[in-house]
Chain A
């Protein structure tokens, strides 16, 4: 008799537990749905705006790296899209802006992605003259560690100036490595992964420019950047 009673109460206990597990699981599922749903909505709402901010930032960087008095074309309207996952690091099309002076090719700026940063992609812009010599490298977006990897930003340290003046004509492949790997680039203290990713990505982008050089200047412009509307 007591045995039986025990069994029955065990059964009710376990079925009660089942119910509460089920209820809590459902609750958790609902919360997960709502919170991911909110992120999805925010993402959709901000996607275009973020892309546009990035483009405007790109245009600002461009004038920083190549002084505007050196070219006379409307550089924002002289742009093509290129896709090369292996050398430019992204499965999305990257942009190339062409700067010309008196019809002759002066310089170009290409965007690229270093896919192996310490925490995700580092988006960068590389400017070279018509012969492929680096005029400057700038960071467009990254999520590296503050105080360590973020020193790749021009405003935070001069590390990124190491690229200035280099070209594949005068520097060997071995040059484009951090000193730890036998190359010529000082790595950022405690942020070798970031440095390595940057050096590799710039090298690959240079390689891409070298392979394509004349083509990049010749192709018809097909990605016009909208100017910021003057609504102030």
Chain B
């Protein structure tokens, strides 16, 4: 990839043509783990996007000082230290937000999508396109998380946006939409198998639309 990519191409790649979750199939570990509800998906999405933008820009700025042979361990260290610092700072200065998003942050370290962007894009591009790429890939990832989370939540417990107040405050309690009430939740959708099948269906749908 070179700098000749226009910003709109980068954005289109992130959201659709080269989507992290649907095409690159990266970051599946946290993706499958937290998409039990739409709000959890959104939470992980926000945290991931933030780290992705930070790591992309940092890697891009120091890309000329990193020897080619050892770039991967250096990326790993950069990302791990970035994530840890963000976690500490959030804990100290935005405590309320930390209570909500904090549990997602350790999951980001295991998200290979971030190192993949560092390797495939940021290490070969200038800071501005890297920033755009970080945002686009992050938003693309977030959208998939939300769609999959919404799907599983709907099938599993008959709601959408359950727990919105955790992210947006008390007023958001009214955002929750109840489609049907179940005594017994449909555990299959909420547990990991539901995540695999849901993601499979999403990828199939994406391929169908694209072709």
Contact assessment for A24 and B70 in the assembled complex, using a CB-CB cutoff below 8 Å: yes
Contact of B103 among A23, A36, A143, A190 (CB under 8 A): A143
Contact of A46 among B80, B92, B106 (CB under 8 A): B92
Q: Does A28 have its Cβ within 8 Å of any Cβ on chain B?
A: yes
Q: Which of chain A's residues 131-180 have a Cβ closer than 8 Å to chain B?
A: 142-148, 150, 155-156
Distance of A27 Cα from B78 Cα, bound (Å): 13
Contact assessment for A38 and B95 in the assembled complex, using a CB-CB cutoff below 8 Å: no
Q: Does A5 have its Cβ within 8 Å of any Cβ on chain B?
A: no
A-chain residues with CB within 8 Å of residue B166 when the two chains form the complex: 155-156
Question: Given A24-B70, A39-B81, A42-B89, list of 20 further CB < 8 A pairs?
Answer: A24-B67, A31-B74, A35-B80, A36-B81, A38-B81, A42-B84, A42-B85, A42-B88, A43-B88, A46-B89, A50-B92, A53-B91, A56-B95, A119-B106, A145-B33, A145-B103, A146-B34, A146-B43, A148-B33, A190-B191
Q: A23-B67, A119-B106, A144-B103 are in contact. Are A38 and B85 (CB under 8 A)?
A: yes
6 tightest CB-CB pairs across the interface, nearest first?
A: A35-B81, A46-B92, A147-B36, A49-B92, A53-B95, A146-B34
What is the 8 Å Cβ interface bit string for chain A, positions 12-31, against chain B (1 contact, 0 not)?
A: 00000000100110011001
Q: Does B56 have its Cβ within 8 Å of any Cβ on chain A?
A: no
Query: For residue B75, which residue of chain A has the nearest CB?
Result: A31
Contact assessment for A146 and B85 in the assembled complex, using a CB-CB cutoff below 8 Å: no
A17 to chain B, nearest CB (A): 11
Contact assessment for B70 and A27 in the assembled complex, using a CB-CB cutoff below 8 Å: yes
Query: For residue A46, which residue of chain B has the nearest CB?
Result: B92
Contact assessment for B103 and A142 in the assembled complex, using a CB-CB cutoff below 8 Å: yes
A-B contact pairs, 14 of them (CB 8 A): A28-B70, A28-B73, A35-B81, A36-B81, A39-B81, A39-B84, A42-B84, A42-B89, A119-B106, A143-B102, A146-B33, A155-B166, A189-B191, A190-B191
Q: Does B130 have its Cβ within 8 Å of any Cβ on chain A?
A: no
Q: Does A224 have its Cβ within 8 Å of any Cβ on chain B?
A: no
Q: Does A223 have its Cβ within 8 Å of any Cβ on chain B?
A: no
Distance of A28 Cα from B74 Cα, bound (Å): 7
A-chain residues with CB within 8 Å of residue B92 when the two chains form the complex: 45-46, 49-50, 53
Q: Does B180 have its Cβ within 8 Å of any Cβ on chain A?
A: no
Distance of A36 Cα from B95 Cα, bound (Å): 23
Contact assessment for B187 and A189 in the assembled complex, using a CB-CB cutoff below 8 Å: yes
Interface of A, secondary structure class, is helix
Q: Does B163 have its Cβ within 8 Å of any Cβ on chain A?
A: yes
B-chain residues with CB within 8 Å of residue A143 when the two chains form the complex: 102-103, 106
Contact assessment for B84 and A156 in the assembled complex, using a CB-CB cutoff below 8 Å: no
Query: For residue A157, which residue of chain B has the nearest CB?
Result: B163
Q: Does B93 have its Cβ within 8 Å of any Cβ on chain A?
A: yes
A-chain residues with CB within 8 Å of residue B69 when the two chains form the complex: 20, 24
Contact assessment for A146 and B107 in the assembled complex, using a CB-CB cutoff below 8 Å: yes
Q: A39-B84, A144-B103 are in contact. Are A46 and B74 (CB under 8 A)?
A: no
Q: Does B19 have its Cβ within 8 Å of any Cβ on chain A?
A: no
What is the 8 Å Cβ interface bit string for chain B, positions 84-128, against chain A (1 contact, 0 not)?
A: 110011011101000100111011000000000000000000000
Contact assessment for B40 and A146 in the assembled complex, using a CB-CB cutoff below 8 Å: yes
Q: A42-B88, A46-B92 are in contact. Are A146 and B104 (CB under 8 A)?
A: yes
B-chain residues with CB within 8 Å of residue A150 when the two chains form the complex: 103
Query: For residue A145, which residue of chain B has the nearest CB?
Result: B33
Contact assessment for B88 and A50 in the assembled complex, using a CB-CB cutoff below 8 Å: yes
Q: Does B172 have its Cβ within 8 Å of any Cβ on chain A?
A: no
B-chain residues with CB within 8 Å of residue A42 when the two chains form the complex: 84-85, 88-89
Q: Does B201 have its Cβ within 8 Å of any Cβ on chain A?
A: no
